[in-house]
Structure 1
Amino acid sequence: MEALPNNHQPSTSPRSGSESSAPTSKRSRVVVSQSKRGCVTCKTRRVKCDEQKPLCRRCVQAGRLCGGYNHESKSSAALQPALKIGVTADSHTERLSYLAAHVLSLDNNGRPLQEDGVWGCIFLQLSNQVECVKAAAAAFGAAYESSLNNAIVKSPCSAWRYYGSALARLQSDFNNETAGPESLALASMILACVEILSQHEQNAFTHFLGAVQILTKTYQRRQGAPSADILSKIKDELVKINLSIGSYALSQTPAVMHLESQEATAGDDAFREPELAINAAMLCLHRSYQFIESAARLRYTYPSWKEHDPIMCKGQSDAVTQCRSVLDGLTALATRLQAQHSSATSTLRDSETLAEIYAMRTQLTSTIIFLLCVHDPFQTGYDEHQDQFRSIVSDAAASARLRRRTKPSAFKRFSTRPGIVGPLFIVSMKCRDPPLRALATTMLNEQGREGPTDGQIMAAIGARLAALETSASVPSSPGAPLAACDVLEGQRVHGYGVSPPRLNGEGRRVVDVVFSRPNVPLVQGWGHVDYSCLDNWIFWSEPIDI
Structure 2
Amino acid sequence: MNQKSLPDAVGNSPKQRLKVYPERINRVRAKKPKSRTGCKTCKIRRVKCDEERPVCLKCRKFGVDCDGYEQPPPYTRGTSLATKPLLPRGVCEVPLCILPTSALFKNELEHQYFLHFRDEVSFELSGPLPTKIWNHVILQSSTETIALRNLTIAIAALSKSRSCPKENAALHRSFAIRQYGKALTQLQHIISRSDDSAVRISLIASLLIFCFENIHGDYEQAVSQVRSALRMMRKRLATVARPYSRLRTTSSIPGLEDDILDIFVRLDNTIMSRVSTPHDSRQSLLEIAYIDSDFRMPNAFRDIVEAKDYLEHVQYKLMPYLAHLPDIYMYGDQVIYVPPKDAFDEITTHLRHWDRAFNPLLEDATRRGGSDFVATATLRLLALSTNIAGQQAFLGGQASGNPELFVPEVTEVMHLARKVVAERCFRKTFVFDCGIVPTLFVVIMNCKRREVREEAVEILRSCGERMEITWNAAAVARLGEQLLRAEDGLC
Q: Report the TM-score when normalising by structure 1.
A: 0.57
Task: Give the structure 2 partner of residue 362 of structure 1.
Answer: 384
CA distance in structure 1 between the partners assigned to 2:258 and 2:170 by the alignment: 39
**1:192·1:207 contact (CA, 8 Å) conserved in 2?**
yes
Task: Give the structure 2 partner of residue 147 of structure 1.
Answer: 162
Instruction: Map 1:252-263; keep pairs closer than 5 Å.
Output: 254-255=283-284, 257=286, 259-262=288-291
Q: Deviations over 1:470-522 (max 9, x none)?
A: 238xxxxxxxxxxxxxxxxxxxxxxxxxxxxxxxxxxxxxxxxxxxxxxxxxx
1:269 aligns with 2:298: yes
1:205 aligns with 2:199: no
**2:460·2:476 contact (CA, 8 Å) conserved in 1?**
yes
**1:135·1:169 contact (CA, 8 Å) conserved in 2?**
no
1:291 to 300, 304, 321: 321
CA distance in structure 2 between the partners assigned to 1:415 and 1:213 by the alignment: 23
In the TM superposition, residue 293 of structure 1 has moved relative to its aligned partner by: 4.3
Task: Give the structure 1 partner of residue 447 of structure 2.
Answer: 431
Q: 1:74 to 1:281 in 2, by over 3 A?
A: closer
Q: Percent identity over the alignment?
A: 14
Task: Give the structure 1 partner of residue 72 of structure 2.
Answer: none
CA distance in structure 2 between the partners assigned to 1:200 and 1:265 by the alignment: 43
In the TM superposition, residue 125 of structure 1 has moved relative to its aligned partner by: 1.2
Query: How many pairs are equivalent?
Result: 375
Task: Give the structure 2 partner of residue 336 of structure 1.
Answer: 360
In the TM superposition, residue 149 of structure 1 has moved relative to its aligned partner by: 5.2
Task: Give the structure 1 partner of residue 153 of structure 2.
Answer: 138
Q: Deviations over 1:364-403 (max 9, x none)?
A: 13421441355x5xxx963535432552352243144146
2:142 to 118, 121, 127: 127
1:279 aligns with 2:301: no
Structure 1 unaligned regions, length at least 5 = 1-68, 83-88, 307-311, 473-541
Q: Deviations over 1:281-305 (max 9, x none)?
A: 2243334333344797997589x87
Q: Deviations over 1:177-228 (max 9, x none)?
A: 4743222111111111222223433222222122223322322399xx9974
Structure 2 unaligned regions, length at least 5 = 1-88, 241-250
Q: 1:81 to 1:329 in 2, by over 3 A?
A: farther
1:195 aligns with 2:221: no
Considering only CA atoms, is the larger Rg found in Structure 1 or Structure 2?
1
What secondary structure sits across from 1:269 in the alignment? coil
CA distance in structure 1 between the partners assigned to 2:420 and 2:404 by the alignment: 25
2:340 to 291, 309, 313: 313
CA distance in structure 1 between the partners assigned to 2:217 and 2:346 by the alignment: 32
**One-letter amino acid matched to 1:99:** H
1:464 aligns with 2:491: no
CA distance in structure 1 between the partners assigned to 2:285 and 2:97 by the alignment: 44
In the TM superposition, residue 278 of structure 1 has moved relative to its aligned partner by: 1.2
**1:274·1:333 contact (CA, 8 Å) conserved in 2?**
no
Task: Give the structure 2 partner of residue 164 of structure 1.
Answer: 181
In the TM superposition, residue 358 of structure 1 has moved relative to its aligned partner by: 2.0
Q: 1:387 to 1:234 in 2, by over 3 A?
A: same
**1:447·1:456 contact (CA, 8 Å) conserved in 2?**
yes
**1:278·1:360 contact (CA, 8 Å) conserved in 2?**
no
1:232 aligns with 2:261: no
In the TM superposition, residue 75 of structure 1 has moved relative to its aligned partner by: 7.3
**One-letter amino acid matched to 1:100:** F
Task: Give the structure 2 partner of residue 102 of structure 1.
Answer: 119
Q: Deviations over 1:10-60 (max 9, x none)?
A: xxxxxxxxxxxxxxxxxxxxxxxxxxxxxxxxxxxxxxxxxxxxxxxxxxx
Q: 1:389 to 1:138 in 2, by over 3 A?
A: farther
In the TM superposition, residue 438 of structure 1 has moved relative to its aligned partner by: 1.9
Task: Give the structure 2 partner of residue 24 of structure 1.
Answer: none
Q: Deviations over 1:296-336 (max 9, x none)?
A: 7997589x876xxxxx424xx41x44542343244224421
1:183 to 188, 201, 212: 201
CA distance in structure 2 between the partners assigned to 1:470 and 1:292 by the alignment: 28
1:446 aligns with 2:462: yes
**1:104·1:413 contact (CA, 8 Å) conserved in 2?**
no
Instruction: Map 1:517-532; keep pairs closer than 5 Å.
Output: none
What secondary structure sits across from 1:387 in the alignment? coil
CA distance in structure 2 between the partners assigned to 1:399 and 1:214 by the alignment: 37
Q: 1:352 to 1:435 in 2, by over 3 A?
A: closer
CA RMSD in angstroms comes to: 4.3
Task: Give the structure 1 partner of residue 416 of structure 2.
Answer: 398
**One-letter amino acid matched to 1:241:** L
**1:441·1:463 contact (CA, 8 Å) conserved in 2?**
yes
Q: 1:431 to 1:339 in 2, by over 3 A?
A: closer
Q: 1:354 to 1:226 in 2, by over 3 A?
A: closer
CA distance in structure 1 between the partners assigned to 2:289 and 2:186 by the alignment: 29
Moved more, 145-154 or 249-258: 249-258
Q: 1:196 to 1:329 in 2, by over 3 A?
A: farther
CA distance in structure 2 between the partners assigned to 1:75 and 1:441 by the alignment: 39
Task: Give the structure 1 partner of residue 85 of structure 2.
Answer: none
Q: Deviations over 1:105-149 (max 9, x none)?
A: 4499xxx933xx322321121111122322222222223222335
CA distance in structure 1 between the partners assigned to 2:451 and 2:146 by the alignment: 54
In the TM superposition, residue 468 of structure 1 has moved relative to its aligned partner by: 1.6
Q: Deviations over 1:433-488 (max 9, x none)?
A: 3222222222222224132444344323312321221238xxxxxxxxxxxxxxxx
CA distance in structure 2 between the partners assigned to 1:141 and 1:119 by the alignment: 13
CA distance in structure 2 between the partners assigned to 1:262 and 1:352 by the alignment: 30
**2:142·2:148 contact (CA, 8 Å) conserved in 1?**
yes
Q: 1:277 to 1:334 in 2, by over 3 A?
A: closer
In the TM superposition, residue 244 of structure 1 has moved relative to its aligned partner by: 4.4
